[in-house]
A and B are shown apart, each in its own frame.
Chain A
């Protein structure tokens, strides 16, 4: 099914959208390790922003600070214009290692956020079933995580984050434990799903191709201490099929430019 991915563009041609997340002057030290240095970033509402950079440059650190899971050493995070100091219902996290409850079924895992919020069981399971279906896992509601493949487990993690209706999705290398073929399918499904929901996504990845394929905005970070090297907007039209996108000149140029930028950090 390739028509799944001929999704509407995530960046409608509207004028400058408001910024739902703003990062102001964030620095982070782990003891004497200087991980992030004065990061200033804006994340437009309804768009997908990717954090890309060499290993250890602070991508995960920045994402967890935005999630409220880590305290910055300096600076602040604003959500909808308000400073936040901790996790909140406007943000949901998708974990690199899935972080599913191994003793709970797919259904309970997906509904877990609502279970914590004390939503009545029937109501939360209803909603969970809807998203289990959306991520393509219907029929697996009563399975346990260890009965699923890596790709399926991450679909559970995605459904769990979607179902709590947070405006902002934070994803730390969500596809890194998924094999190449399933990864492409998953990327396409993700774009399709997000287009229908008008989510703002902040996405960490190591893969330049993945970043260009899924993003409206790519933030390139330089090595430690992490600083913003550049911000790239690929401006790729997503009206065509996934294969056409991957042959698009803009797509190929963007991949090439980012590669040229990143390769100098490898020496």
Chain B
């Protein structure tokens, strides 16, 4: 892992820590109060706040998770070089696109 990736992974962890807590609180709140899917969508649709919140979450998680997966692959399989970088770029884009698509749909 390069120092750049290392720092990026720590920074995204720093960004995600409060987001995860809020996300968990939201889950607990939504399930405890028995909000229906319509009620939830009613609150998220058109909300700049939730679009920004989960948009940032998706970007940070995609970066953080890809660097982590890359490290696991390097250590467990010994895979290195351009092929690995390309595969990781694809993984990152897939997570990013799927995540952002979900954010766009519910907000």
Whether A and B are associated in the same complex: the answer reads no
Q: Which residues of A contact B (CB under 8 A)?
A: none
